[in-house]
Chain A
Amino acid sequence: SAVISQKPSRDICQRGTSLTIQCQVDSQVTMMFWYRQQPGQSLTLIATANQGSEATYESGFVIDKFPISRPNLTFSTLTVSNMSPEDSSIYLCSADASGSHSGANVLTFGAGSRLTVL
């Protein structure tokens, strides 16, 4: 299965600033996904990033707040813009590791980026 490197692993940010999270996959993948996970809660999909096209955002998430880049098949970034304390969360990138189990699209995740906004 794919290996995903994600950075930063954690950061403390000031209100109103922006932070970019990077995600590198060790193999080419078609789709990459960005999730948010708040303590004790389920994973929430922010957007799906496809190479060569604009990201597809889920309800409640907009491009101005969470711009995403996907310049090639192994790399993606998520920017959290104009941060507020409500953006404090763990952000996870993942990739579709299809083929590892018949019929299943198994996701491989990065280790996550824990952001604290003061």
Chain B
Amino acid sequence: GQNIDQPTEMTATEGAIVQINCTYQTSGFNGLFWYQQHAGEAPTFLSYNVLDGLEEKGRFSSFLSRSKGYSYLLLKELQMKDSASYLCAVKDSNYQLIWGAGTKLIIKP
């Protein structure tokens, strides 16, 4: 079966750095997405990786290793507004999106 694994919850301190991991086992691979979802709101697109390596976008970076079936989202200089759930999703060989259950990130002052 197809599976996306990410930690259920993480806690970090304002101003610090946090890395949210995502491992996947899917039938084929056509890209990996990270979305941010604040409580009670819609998911919003953060990043897309299709090739191995690091994609940097401001305070957020996303890394992909296709051979390891692994990605991480790195958040730097954490702010209270970064408290949200972070969803990892993989597009499989049929271009269907397989979603992880999300990682709830709690930022403490």
Which A residues are closer than 8 A to B by beta carbons? 1, 4, 40-45, 92, 100-101, 103-112, 114
Contact = CB atoms under 8 A, between A and B. Distances in A.
B33 A106 contact: yes
A104 B4 contact: no
Interface size grouping (class) on chain B: 20 to 34
9 contacts: A42-B102, A43-B99, A45-B96, A103-B48, A107-B45, A107-B97, A109-B42, A110-B42, A112-B41
Interface of B: 4, 8, 31, 33, 40-45, 48, 50, 87, 89, 91, 95-97, 99-102
B87 A112 contact: no
Of the candidates A1, A106, A111, the one having the most CB atoms from chain B within 10 angstroms of its own CB is: A106
Nearest to A41: B101
A96 to B, nearest CB: 10
B24 to A, nearest CB: 12
A65 B76 CA distance: 44
A43 B101 CA distance: 7
Contacts of B43: 43, 92, 107, 109
Nearest to A10: B40
